[in-house]
Amino acid sequence: MRTPSRFVALLALTEAFTATGALAEAPNPNGAAPTQAAPDGGSPTAMTEDEAAPPLEPGESEPPAPRRAGAPATPATSAREEEPERTEHVVAEHETLGGIAHHYGIPTDALAAANGITRLTPIRVGQRLVVPAPGETVRVPSRVHVVGQGNTLAAIARRYGASVDAIIAANHLKPHERLQLGRKLVIPGSTAKPVSSAATEDKSEPLSPVAGIQQLPIPGSGPAYYYEPTGPGRSGMRPVIVYLHGRGADPKHYCQRWSRVTRNLGWLVCPSGPEDRGDGKRGWNNSWPTGRNIVMAAIDGLRRKYGRRVQLYGNTLIGFSEGAFVAMNVGLREPHTFNRWLILGADTDYWGAAGLATLPEARGRVRRVYLITGGHDDVVDDAAQVKRWLTSAGVPVRVSTPKDMGHEVALEAKPAMYQAALRWLAQG
């Protein structure tokens, strides 16, 4: 009996499909099991007063994928692989567009263009921003604007960072044509320049946490570690940011961590406490007078070495835990040198009767204070009381109590929060 030709074709197709499936299910001739990515190492361990931060991890490049048998030695890169990886940033309280752009190392205009806004457009807490990758060409898409009451072409152009002529041409308008309420205007897109890194744009050294760290010898204590400022104006007079570590922390390691968010703002100086706790860890012996001598010696030593590049007055003190105890007391006694404070983990016991008696003298001398205490820190309620004391003394104060933090310095998880605090202090 003759087999219909349609049935023969179907039978052949089925056999071919079966053979292909068998080939796909065949074991790897090399006997290698499929490779799986290593699990995420997780976030750094929260740091307590008696613990130093986790060690810095050197950057590692992704190992190349194993080459299949018979594949060319240098496979062609696909279009998907060539696409730059973008990041999404959720705007936090007190953040600015410029501060976010600096954190990611890109120009502010590039960040604005990637999100279809201008550098003057207000951003809100919780807003999601697309962060373009360095080297990416930012393309601004076309948008539609509905004319509202009082809108003018010039105002609309400023809002979207476009030119009046481009809007006129895209909508076939006459130069002095009146805009009707409710009219939809096309805002033409554009292709911006490739995104360069902010460090390259400023011609400053890269913000490496290791490269550039230096030491100042301090009599009677360990060395003070420091970084020179970066960015525009770094050769002129720049303010000094002094970080005072917690008990049992390694001041050099903390200095490396803080360098990521401070070097564009001025000098970073990290004195060592007088107490040697071994393995590079230091403490302050609960003695703020000794801490005061060490801090002022570090400022004086830096000034002698670099001259007028080092600002002597109007500088910033940062202190964490036992370092906060020292900072709160040094700041009260040296308000001319340090009139801006960033206190991490403030405690009402840190001032005592003598400190509270001195506090009224801060009026008009201490410019601004920012308090950051983790929502799960045992002293979180103390931050509110310290704020009330400072406010009563006429000192402008801001307080942040992140709910996902304990007694720690979360520089890796929340760098923008610390930089926003420092920028607010600098503006006062």
| Partners of residue 340 on adjacent β-strands | 316, 368
- Do 302 and 379 sit in the same domain of this protein? yes
Torsion of CA 237, 239, 244, 250, to 10 degrees: -50
Q: Is residue 15 part of a domain?
A: no
Q: Are residues 168 and 255 in the same domain?
A: no
| Predicted pLDDT at 292 | 97
pLDDT surpassing 60 at residue 55: no
Classify residue 391: in a domain, yes or no: yes
Place of tokens 């720049």: 238
Residue 163 and residue 223 in one domain:
no
What pLDDT, on a 0 to 100 scale, did the predictor assign at position 196?
A: 52
Per-residue model confidence as pLDDT tens digits over 311-329: 999 999 999 999 999 999 9
Looking at the fold, whether 146 and 249 belong to one and the same domain comes out as: no
Q: Write out pLDDT tens, residues 343-361.
A: 999 999 999 888 899 999 8
Confirm if 284 and 326 have CB atoms less than 8 A apart.
yes
Give the range of the structural domain holding residue 374, as residue numbers without chain letter: 204-427
Q: Is residue 352 part of a domain?
A: yes
In the predicted model, what is the mean pLDDT of residues 295-309?
A: 95
Do 220 and 254 share a domain, yes or no?
yes
Query: What is the average pLDDT across 24-41?
Result: 37
Q: Does residue 378 sit within a domain? A: yes
Q: How many domains does the chain have?
A: 2
Q: What is the pLDDT of residues 364-393, one digit of tens each?
A: 899 999 999 999 999 999 999 999 999 999
Q: Are residues 279 and 415 both part of a single domain?
A: yes
Q: Across residues 154-179, what is the average pLDDT?
A: 83
**Pair (171, 311) in one structural domain:** no
Q: What average pLDDT score do residues 278-284 get?
A: 94
Confidence of residue 238 (pLDDT cuts 50, 70, 90): very high
Average pLDDT rounded to a whole number, residues 142-166:
83
Q: Which residue has the tokens 């053979």?
A: 19
Identify whether residues 277 and 376 lie together within a single domain: yes
Q: Could you read off the pLDDT of 215-224 as tens digits, one per residue?
A: 999 998 999 9
pLDDT of residue 164: 86
Are residue 299 and residue 416 in the same domain, yes or no?
A: yes
* 395 inside domain: yes
Q: Is the pLDDT of residue 206 over 70?
A: no
Confidence at residue 85, expressed as pLDDT on a 0 to 100 scale = 58
Whether residue 278 lies inside any domain: the answer is yes
Which CATH number goes with the domain that contains 179? Answer: 3.10.350.10
- For residue 44, tell me if it sits in a domain: no
Inform me whether the pLDDT recorded for 397 exceeds 90: yes
Pair (414, 288) in one structural domain: yes
| Same domain (yes/no): 184, 215 | no
Average pLDDT over residues 187-204: 52
Q: Do 176 and 277 lie in a common domain?
A: no
Q: Looking at the domain assignment, is residue 247 inside a domain?
A: yes
**25, two tokens:** 């299910």
Query: Using one digit for the tens of pLDDT, what is the confidence trace for 75-86?
Result: 443 333 344 556
Pick the last residue of a domain from 188, 217, 248: 188
Q: Give the contacts of 312 (CB within 8 A, at least 6 positions apart).
A: 299, 303, 337
- Using 50, 70 and 90 to split pLDDT, how confident is the model at 190? low
CATH number at residue 380: 3.40.50.1820
pLDDT of residue 427: 83
Q: What integer best gives the mean pLDDT of the chain?
A: 77
Which residue, among 298, 241, 244, has the nearest Cα to 264 in the 3D structure?
A: 241
pLDDT by residue (tens digit) across 96-141? 777 777 667 677 777 888 887 776 678 888 999 988 876 677 776 7
Cβ-Cβ contacts under 8 Å for 226 (sequence gap 6 or more) = 213, 214, 215, 216, 255, 267, 268, 269, 270, 298, 302
CB 368 within 8 A of CB 428: yes
Predicted pLDDT at 389: 95
